[in-house]
Chain A
């Protein structure tokens, strides 16, 4: 299937105005990021605070410039490209609306903006989330404002929808509602969704593909299901765990007396598990959330790509 969106060696370097205060050079927000986004797939864009998720989403939608590299949206550059961007909806973490806008005004504006807008769906979502249509957006609570963003993102039915931490202030009921409505509508109207989130456990069953950013670098680009099979924790006597760990890439270890628990990367087939069990070692799967925690803390600090920085500075 043709990709609907692609990033080719995208880097973004921010220069600090007062470099000496911060005590380091320019900060690299994105470092040589390359990937493609397929049609009709739900992606999870994961990573810690400051990993570059928002910057990446801005660059993908033509709202920020890459320092180097390029983005292809439906095979074209997204910058000032109204035709291509008409099929994209970007729901930002803190979307701003004109001060006088009511909820109804915001929805009407969205209806004009998005060609695939479904007004009946939007109204049913307003009811689901119990939003007061006549209230000014500026008077909404944080959670209600997030709900408004979610409603617009869903009802826009854009071919590509990006949600950047869409549920700040939204309670568990509201988030569940979002997941349910997203899945149900996605089943009837398949499209591409890119969801950036910290609530990994909540979305792990929703997302088909994981993109994991760590300090500006893309360290995982894989199907969620295959990722899940690539990591295990083994718990048992230290010597036995040592033997098993020697054959795999060890990411983390906890010790309790003579018992060790190691997080390992590598293939574990049924036979391997059975052998481990026979030696009194427990082999357990790792949740997507744990996996992300291990991958984004285990690695050495990312080496700053000097080449990219030099290039940016010499401009």
Chain B
């Protein structure tokens, strides 16, 4: 766990990532509070907070007495949300650094093209 960021957000993020990359399929059961607490060595209340945030968000849903499951459509929702945040989270710091180094947008496009070609 990263020391500074709220742990419940990191828990929620990790589950979101598992849903986005498909390792946690829709309608599959999410890890339980106690499993998360034991695995990450965190307080169960913190793990529960992370899970509950995803429930409030509609990403997970509760089956009473059984556990939490991935909602249908969760993957598409998360992908779209992450795409919307992409510019703020990744492009902006990239452009700040580029400006510091005297790179212009055209230079960056060239770099991306070269990167694509090399793959």
Enumerate chain A interface residues (CB-CB to B < 8 A). Answer: 41-42, 179-180, 183-184, 186-187, 190, 201, 204-208, 224-225, 228-229, 270, 274, 277-278, 280, 284-288
- A-B contact sample (15 more), CB < 8 A, given A41-B45, A187-B38, A224-B43: A42-B43, A183-B37, A184-B38, A186-B44, A187-B44, A206-B43, A224-B46, A225-B7, A225-B8, A225-B49, A274-B88, A278-B96, A285-B2, A286-B4, A287-B3
Among B6, B34, B45, B92, the residue within 8 A (CB) of A228 is B6
Please, could you name 9 A-B residue pairs with CB atoms under 8 Å apart, sorted by A?
A42-B43, A183-B38, A187-B37, A205-B7, A205-B46, A206-B41, A277-B96, A280-B100, A287-B4
Closest to A205 in B: B42
Number of A-B residue pairs having CB atoms within 8 Å of each other in the complex? 65
Tell me the minimal C-beta distance from A79 to chain B in angstroms.
31
Do residues A284 and B92 form an inter-chain contact, with CB atoms below 8 A? no
In B64-119, the 8 Å CB interface with A consists of: 88, 92-93, 96, 100
Closest to A271 in B: B88
Enumerate chain B interface residues (CB-CB to A < 8 A). Answer: 1-8, 33-34, 37-38, 40-46, 49, 88, 92-93, 96, 100
Residues of chain B within 8 A of A42, CB atoms compared = 43
Residues of chain A within 8 A of B1, CB atoms compared = 205
Residues of chain B within 8 A of A270, CB atoms compared = 88
Tell me the minimal C-beta distance from A31 to chain B in angstroms.
29
Tell me the minimal C-beta distance from B51 to chain A in angstroms.
14
Given A183-B38, A204-B3, A225-B7, A278 and B92 contact (CB-CB distance below 8 Å): yes
CA distance A184 to B2 in the complex (A): 22
CA distance A204 to B92 in the complex (A): 32
Among B7, B46, B93, the residue within 8 A (CB) of A277 is B93
CA distance A205 to B8 in the complex (A): 10
Do residues B41 and A183 form an inter-chain contact, with CB atoms below 8 A? yes
